[in-house]
Structure formats: structure tokens, C-alpha cells
Structure 1
Amino acid sequence: MTAGIAGAQPDEPIGGDMGTYRIHCNVDGAKVFFNGDYKGEIAEGILDVPVYVTGTPYRTFTIEKEGYKTYTGTITSVPGKGQVIDIYAKLSALPLVEYGTLHLLVTPTLSTVFLDGSEIGLVPPNGVLIIRDIVPGNHAIQVSKDGYITQDFALFVAKNEVKKVPVTLQPAGSGLLTVSSEPPGGQVFLDGNLIGVTPMSVSDVAVGDHEILISMTGYSDYRQTVTVTEEGATVSADLVASVPSGRVGLSPLVMLGALAGCAFLASRRS
């Protein structure tokens, strides 16, 4: 990239107390900034930037466009009234990025895929998730699905490469879950799904943490997070009777006083 500031051209009047910076650039559509302030775009190789002669002088200019290396230069002169100062800059094109493509062949389908920590999406029913425009280099992949062991691995994608990677998730282990309550007869919910009434056992519960809810009329709900291993897990709940809302019980002393009062009234009448 090159830039230069040519001498003034007083034969090109601008009028008033204005002067002009005339930017010459080889890339149409490039954006021009003076001291960080946007001034316009290059058209047919030129952009005129009028300035007040008595205004605050500009010190730097920047020219940028996608696909080109940004150029920043120094402004060393201030145009006088009716004066044009030419500034020349040449932008150099950036080398094209030759992206790669990744084909993930995943079993089971509908697994979730992450690339470098960002979610890409679900594996479609055909089992092939295509990720395009991957910057050449090393990348981290994660594939996960409920009921399966998550896979994390790294891979290298070369420029212009179409890399095909098979991924097969293994089913997570399972264990026996046994649930009981006192009193028995409570409805048991596993992760929000009704699975039976206490006492009960259910096999093939996926290894990991699960939410248990036991519900029974007249008793407060019982909740517990249980960790199921391949050796199984057991939940034993002592249900607590609930007090119906709006009903207030009488203390034994008050009840005895009421009975004594009734007996006294009865003796008076007799």
C-alpha cells in the first residue's frame, strides 16, 4: 500500500472559507474516515472531502473495504480557501481464505453438534451433518444426545479439504431405581413423567442425575435429586401429612374448656 499528499491546486475554486482534501484510491466503494469520522466512499477513484479552513485540523485518515488491507495515513497539510490537497492511497487485496468442509457421519441421528464451543445444530435424519466454510486449522468437536455418552475430540481441517468423520455415540449405562414411601401408594414421577406407585422399581434408568417427585393426596409432595449408577439407586421417602388450607385446629385446652362449659350449663338446667 502506498499513499502520498500532493501539492495544492489553487486553480480549482471551492468557494467560501472551505478547502478540500481529494482522496485518490484504486478501489471503488472503499470507505474513507478522517480522525475516525466517516466521510464517504470512493467513486470512480476519487472522494472529495470539504473542510473549513479555520476548523480543527485532521491528523489521520483511514481507507477500508472488505477483502482489502485497511490503510491508515497521516495528514500533514491543511487546505487554504479554495485550495485542493490531493491524497493518494493504494489498497492491497487480502489473500483469499481457502475454507474447508466437514462432513460428520453421526449415529444416532438428532444428536447435537458443537464446533469450537458453538452449537451448530442437530444431525439430520440422514445421519450426515455438513459444516461449511471452516477456517483451516485445529478445531474442537462435541457430539451429544440424551441417553448416550458425549464424545469430545479434536481434528485438523486443511484448506479446500472435504473431511469426512464418522462418529458413533455409545449408549450410556443404566441402573435399577427403587422407590418406596411411608405411607405407600404415592405416585412416582421420574423427570416429570409418571412411572408408577410406591413401592416400585424400574430398570434401565439412564446413569446420571434424575429428579424424583412423590405425590399423594393429603400429604406434601416429596422431591429429591437422585444419582443413578450402574449399581442402581434407592429412594425412601417419609411423607408428611399436609394441613388443609383455611382450617384451624382447636387446642386440647380450649376443647376441655368448651366441654366443661357445656356440662355446667346442663347442670344449671337440671
Structure 2
Amino acid sequence: MSIHKQETRKKVTTHRLRKMKENGEKIAMLTAYDYSMARILDAAGIDILLVGDSASNVMAGHETTLPITLDNIIYHASSVSRGINRSLLVADIPFGFYQGDSKEALKSAIRLMKEAGAHAVKVEGGQEIKESVERILTAGIPVMGHLGLTPQSIYKFGTYTVRAKEKSEAEKLLRDAKMLEEVGCFGIVLEKIPAELAKQVAESVSIPVIGIGAGPDVDGQVLVMHDMLGINNEFHPRFLRKYANLHEQITNAVSSYIEDVRSSSFPNESESY
């Protein structure tokens, strides 16, 4: 077996992610919410699987990520954890379970580690959640930050437009990124910010920076699995590259199944006992 194949099969850890950044090796991250898909993504070689609060949108049909609960995330993350052997499993702490109360934040993180089998947790925000991040880290729980467009704050922003185009917001984002590194976060997601700013952040910190709509000059990329596989047919942001059109394929498959059932061509003799 080649050294490269051995490396790709090794368990992904926060330490390995940092080494990947140091070596200029890009990190691939996707969302996952169930056992069957997690098995496929893990076997394909994905580095990080994120059980995101985006489950609120793509799994439950909510308009925002706000309604999803910690119990919901635990359900999805525990399903994913049973389907992986190699990937690092990161779980979002949902809205209302860490902001403003560091003790609540720690309890939430512990539940995700104990009940869901997560390897790390992700939280949105900078200086305003510093105390919560620090308290989680005191328990030895790895934390990934999330800056830029933070969907849990959508009603504060009022729009899903690109963040940190103004100088003051860009400067704050850079300070927040450095703060998250200093307190001990192992990585940061940057969502929907100017590519030049994302590059500056990635060069300013020693921890991996994963982008979504943040240009190519970061340490890795993340997409929502339903979006990149073309299951979600209504979402067309500039940053999304669709690698399949499962919406069309599934529709065609189901249509063929319905036709075969109604015409009595399914099941045939060889499919019967």
C-alpha cells in the first residue's frame, strides 16, 4: 500500500487537520445527517463531516436554522457517528443552547460528545461568545468557530448577503478569528465573506480555516451535502458547485417505479418467491 493511501485511511483528528494546513493540503468537509449517507461520505474519504443546524432547513423544512433543538442535533449526530470510521465528526450547537450562558454551553457540548458521539462542536460568533467557548474548552472538548455570515443571527442581519464588506466589520472579523485561535479553537468556518478577507484570515492564524463562499485561498471547503448533490433544487448561490443532479435522477427513478407498479411489470417472476 502506498504512503498516500495509508494517509487517506488514517483517522482524521484535530491534530492531523493542523498538519494538513501546515503542509498545504486542502481539507474537504461536508454536512451529513443520517447513517446511510455518512457511510458513503466517510468511505469516499471526506475529512470532516458536519452535523449542521442546516438540518433545520434540508431535513425538517424550516425557513431558518433557528427552530432546531439540541435533541434534534443529537439524534442526527448519533446516526452519523454510527456510520463513520475515518472522518472527524463535528456537531453544531444550535441557537439558544450556548449564547449568553457558558454553563449551558458546556452542558450542550457534553451532551453532544456523550450522547451523539461527536468529536468536536461548532459555534457561531466571535467576542460575544468568548466565555462560552472558553468554558467548553476547559472540559477538553474541541471547538470549531464560525464567522462571517452566521445563519443563527439571520434576524439580526436581516439578509443572507455577503458579510464583512465594510472595513469595520472586516476588522472585527479578523480580531474575532485571532481571538478564537488564542482561546484554543482548532479551526474556523468562514461563510460568505470577500475572498481577499478570507485569505487574510487564513494567513493570520495557524489553525485551519474552512470556507463556504469565501474564495479559494483558505485551508479547505465545506458545502451542504443536499446542495452539492443537487437534491435541493431551489438553492443556487454563486458559491455552490453541483456535482450531481439527484433531484432529477430520483424523480425519474420514482416515476419509473410508479409506472412499473401500475402496469404490473413490477414485481416480475424473478422478483417473486
Q: TM-score, normalised by structure 1?
A: 0.17
Larger RCO: Structure 1 or Structure 2 (Cα < 8 Å, ≥ 6 residues apart)? 2
Q: More strand by proportion, 1 or 2?
A: 1
